[in-house]
């Protein structure tokens, strides 16, 4: 069901029609431009994500979910901020999920920022439109947040294998960059295949620059 939801959202359509500000569609957890691998590639480009927009595959996963869970209909409440922009974003996501997964209903609940975050921290929600920004130029600035017991992991998801891969990346592999980046890629792919989050976009900003202004 999580896979189906993530695959049912047209991310390119979202950044073009909803944002139109230089933001990038994203299927990954680690942002583009966060870090380069030892051979000079952007780390995010090396990760194989199963969460690309694909209505056909989303419907297949939706059919599997209905059989596994013994239900034909699901209703979720999606928390988002109480701003006009957030409502437009949530409406787009709602329409994508409901049109591509017949039987799934998404209700939008707008909350002040503080209340939305409090609901996430207490895991008192079914869906939440949220974001994360990196603090330093390494994939672990994203990946560490999803280890079991991390204060930022408000998903209820956990994996011993994932935790062990990150433990290696933060410890014994620090002096072995090639192995370290391969291990972090393995961790992210494990995480994305379980789909506790549905990545949508990477934030960008649109600016105007006057070429006559110097210095």
Cβ contact 80:89 at 8 Å: yes
**CA 139/CA 34 separation, integer angstroms:** 7
Cβ contact 65:8 at 8 Å: no
Question: What does the pLDDT average to over 28-45?
Answer: 96
Of the candidates 163, 168, 190, 167, which has an alpha carbon nearest to the alpha carbon of residue 179? 168
**CA 185/CA 165 separation, integer angstroms:** 10
**CA 94/CA 77 separation, integer angstroms:** 10
pLDDT tens string 106-160:
999 999 999 999 999 999 999 999 999 999 999 999 999 999 999 999 999 999 9
pTM: 0.92
Q: Is the pLDDT at 50 greater than 90, yes or no?
A: yes
**CA 207/CA 190 separation, integer angstroms:** 37
Integer CA distances (angstroms), 181 to 50, 78, 83, 192, 202, in order: 19, 34, 39, 16, 21
Per the DSSP assignment, residues forming a β-bridge with 202 are: 24
Q: Is the pLDDT at 208 greater than 90, yes or no?
A: no
Q: Is the pLDDT at 196 greater than 90, yes or no?
A: yes
């Amino acid at each position: 069901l999580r896979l189906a939801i993530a695959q049912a959202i047209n991310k390119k359509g979202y950044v073009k029609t909803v944002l139109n500000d230089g933001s990038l569609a994203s299927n990954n957890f680690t942002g583009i431009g966060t870090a380069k691998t030892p051979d000079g590639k952007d780390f995010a480009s090396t990760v194989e994500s199963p969460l690309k927009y694909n209505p056909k595959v989303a419907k297949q996963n939706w059919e599997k979910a209905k059989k596994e869970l013994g239900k034909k209909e699901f209703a979720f409440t999606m928390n988002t901020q109480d701003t006009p922009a957030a409502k437009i974003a949530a409406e787009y996501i709602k329409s994508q999920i409901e049109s591509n997964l017949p039987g799934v209903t998404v209700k939008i609940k707008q909350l002040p920022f503080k209340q939305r975050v409090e609901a996430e921290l207490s895991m008192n929600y079914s869906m939440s439109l949220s974001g994360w920004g990196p603090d330093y130029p390494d994939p672990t600035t994203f990946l560490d947040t999803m280890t079991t017991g991390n204060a930022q992991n408000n998903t209820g998801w956990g994996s011993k294998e994932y935790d062990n891969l990150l433990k290696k990346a933060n410890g014994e592999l620090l002096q072995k960059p090639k192995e370290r980046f391969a291990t972090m890629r393995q961790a992210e792919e494990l995480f994305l295949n379980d789909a506790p989050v549905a990545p949508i976009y990477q934030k960008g900003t649109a600016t105007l620059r006057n070429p006559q202004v110097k210095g």
